[in-house]
């Protein structure tokens, strides 16, 4: 083919060049941001509201099950990113009590995913190498027997670990959690085990699913929604919040680093 005339531009060159330049700038930005994040303290406890699987699926011509599978793949990446930054405690919102109103077909697919994922955790090389303790918080009795069994397998396989903690909120509702704590305290008062005047915030905290965990430093939600949707209501009293427009399956390491960096740049006042 003859050479292009002087001054004549190859119509395919500019988009290709723009793509290369864009990737290079993104890589440089991510590398620099990672350096900044590592230079300062990261959240000890990060909580994630993983939202947007279904909308991501719709935007990409995928079925709902495929959208949830893509979300599960992102969660796998997230665990790697947290290990990289040595974030010691990760709590993810996988299924709320309100989610049980979804179609039987979608719920069945989700239960299959939870069942498989929890069993995989028990043999995950990363989990054992980094000594990650895995726990599920929520109303387990609302889950199918096979998922309850998978929970027991994952927790039993990691119960002696303490370097990291990975908590999965399944069949979880913040209000329900608080109500259950109040009921337990009320029974103790009724039975003469507890003086009503001894009930304080610490007493309530001791009866929550997260009783032995520090409150989350940062709650990070994807999908553009700016609310916490019944997640860790009691525990989030002084948590920093970060909202991203990215749908959960589309979350990148760069956007994750931006969330952590935003947290680092804030001054936490704790009501003062």
User: How large a percentage of the chain has pLDDT more than 70?
Assistant: 91
Question: CA-CA distances (angstroms) from residue 33 to 74, 114, 260?
Answer: 20, 33, 10
Residue 21, C-beta contacts closer than 8 angstroms, at least 6 positions apart: none
Instruction: Dig out the tokens for 186 from the structure.
Output: 């009320």
pTM summary value: 0.89
What is the model's pLDDT at position 58?
A: 97
What is the model's pLDDT at position 11?
A: 53
Q: Among 66, 99, 120, 215, which one carries the catalytic annotation?
A: 99
In the sheet where 218-221 sits, what is the strand order? 132-137, 164-169, 89-93, 45-49, 218-221, 240-243
What is the model's pLDDT at position 45?
A: 98
Q: Judge contact between 71 and 249, C-beta under 8 A.
A: yes
pLDDT in tens, 148-192: 999 999 999 999 999 999 999 999 999 999 999 999 999 999 999
pLDDT in tens, 87-137: 999 999 999 999 999 999 999 999 999 999 999 999 999 999 999 999 999
Question: CA-CA distances (angstroms) from residue 28 to 16, 31, 42, 133?
Answer: 19, 5, 21, 34
Q: Verify whether residue 51 is a known catalytic residue.
A: yes
- Collapsing DSSP to helix, strand or coil, 123 comes out as coil
Q: Among 3, 27, 51, 160, which one carries the catalytic annotation?
A: 51
Q: Judge contact between 90 and 75, C-beta under 8 A.
A: no
Q: Judge contact between 170 and 114, C-beta under 8 A.
A: yes
| Number of Cβ within a 10 Å radius of residue 89 | 20
What number is the average pLDDT over the span 5-29?
Answer: 65
What is the model's pLDDT at position 1?
A: 44
Q: Hey, what's the torsion of the CAs at 168, 173, 175, 177, to 10 degrees?
A: -50
Q: Where are the alpha helices (DSSP H) in 39-62?
A: 53-59
Question: CA-CA distances (angstroms) from residue 111 to 143, 145, 153, 183?
Answer: 8, 10, 15, 29
Q: So what's the architecture of 44-172+209-264 in CATH?
A: 3-Layer(aba) Sandwich (3.40)
Measured on CA atoms in the order 26, 28, 31, 35, is the torsion positive or negative? negative
Instruction: Dig out the tokens for 26 from the structure.
Output: 């993104």
- Alpha carbon 30 to its chain's center: 21
């Amino acid at each position: 083919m003859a050479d292009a005339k002087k001054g004549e531009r190859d119509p395919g060159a500019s988009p290709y060049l723009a793509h290369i330049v864009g990737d290079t700038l993104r890589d440089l930005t991510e590398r620099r941001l990672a350096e900044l994040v590592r230079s300062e303290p990261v959240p000890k406890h990060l909580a994630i509201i993983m939202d947007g699987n279904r909308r991501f699926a719709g935007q990409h011509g995928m079925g709902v099950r495929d959208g949830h599978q893509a979300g599960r793949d992102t969660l796998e990446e997230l665990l790697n990113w947290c290990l990289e930054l040595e974030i010691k405690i990760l709590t993810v919102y996988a299924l709320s009590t309100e989610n049980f109103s979804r179609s039987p077909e979608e719920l069945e697919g989700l239960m299959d995913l939870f069942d498989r994922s929890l069993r995989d955790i028990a043999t995950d090389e990363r989990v054992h190498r980094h000594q990650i303790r895995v726990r599920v918080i929520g109303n387990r009795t609302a889950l199918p027997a096979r998922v309850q069994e998978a929970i027991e397998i994952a927790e039993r396989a990691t119960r002696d670990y303490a370097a990291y903690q990975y908590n999965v909120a399944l069949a979880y509702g913040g209000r329900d959690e608080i109500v259950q704590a109040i009921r337990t305290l009320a029974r103790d008062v009724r039975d003469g085990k507890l003086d009503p005047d001894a009930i304080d915030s610490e007493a309530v905290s001791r009866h929550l699913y997260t009783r032995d965990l520090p409150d989350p430093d940062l709650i990070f939600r994807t999908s553009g929604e700016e609310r916490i949707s019944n997640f860790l209501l009691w525990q989030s009293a002084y948590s920093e919040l970060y909202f991203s427009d990215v749908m959960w399956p589309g979350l990148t390491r760069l956007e994750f680093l931006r969330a952590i960096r935003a947290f680092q740049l804030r001054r936490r006042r704790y009501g003062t």
